[in-house]
Amino acid sequence: MARKPSETERIKTLEFYDVLDTPEEASFDRITRLASTIMGTPMAMISLSDRKRQWFKSHVGTIVREIPREVSFCTHAIKGRTAFIVPDASQDARFADNPMVWGEPNIRFYIGVPLTMQNGHNVGTLCTLDTKPRVASDTEVAILSDLARMAVDELELRRIAITDSLTGALTRRGLDQRLEHELERCRRYKRPMSLLALDLDHFKTINDHFGHAAGDIMLQSVVSMCRDHLRSIDVIARTGGEEFVVILPETPGPEAHLVAERLRNLIETSTVRAAGRTLNVTTSIGVTTLGTHDTTHAQILERADVALYQAKSAGRNQVVFAAGAA
């Protein structure tokens, strides 16, 4: 007997793809536009089912970006493996009293195809909706299913594009996307954020003396060490050969400085076994905070880089703090 999918595992899968609350992307918008056109419906969404909300990565025919899961049609659709179809929601006992049926946007027709990821978990749906009752043909269901597969492929490609294949840290593209999101969130809720820029000191000597394979092991170990000592909400990205950036949400400057010192000490006192030898490395770190006059994430990155350069110029293996303008 097949094991019933775990909601906890499903949410972990969704979080693994790191797509919730990210900006709109043309590759996903093309799919929803096609779905709306082919189905002849005024609304279409790539919908992701979070713990308590339905969040739309892409949407046509509505400006809403999320709704509560308790009123979501997609909550039903993600339980299956094939298209979930509601010809007339006003005549369906499961939805007749739904506020989105008897009120705006007056949904009648719904079809949602689950977005099934590689591990078998459904993270959401590609769905289209109409304000009029209707029936979906077999051809329409088949085409929508193909488009849903394309949405899954885009999620997989997106994950690859924003993840460094060696260390599992975010790439520069992934960092830019996450920082843009964090900047928007901090502005909206007036919350603190800090940034660390790290550079491994004299890393070239490891590659030169012990080979690039040993250098790769060192990079992987440093990222692993950092992750083990950071919170789940913190993010690490690899921005260069031996350069990294750490985003510290909800963290004011003094706390960020302490985090940086802990990481610096951790890396300095840790050893890595590679090329038949025990190797170690130190790191220089620049720290900054989000300032009230920061309008782009590039400004924050530049200030962290300046602080990092000062740490390296002052002798390396140390932390320099540069506060954002109040």
- Out of 15, 156, 242, 243, the active site residue is 242
Using CA atoms, how far residue 227 sits from 52, 109, 198, 234, 310, in Å, is: 27, 46, 14, 8, 25
Q: Evaluate the omega torsion of the peptide bond into residue 99 and state whether it is cis, within 30 degrees of 0.
A: no
Q: Is 184 a catalytic residue?
A: no
Residues with a catalytic annotation lie at: 242
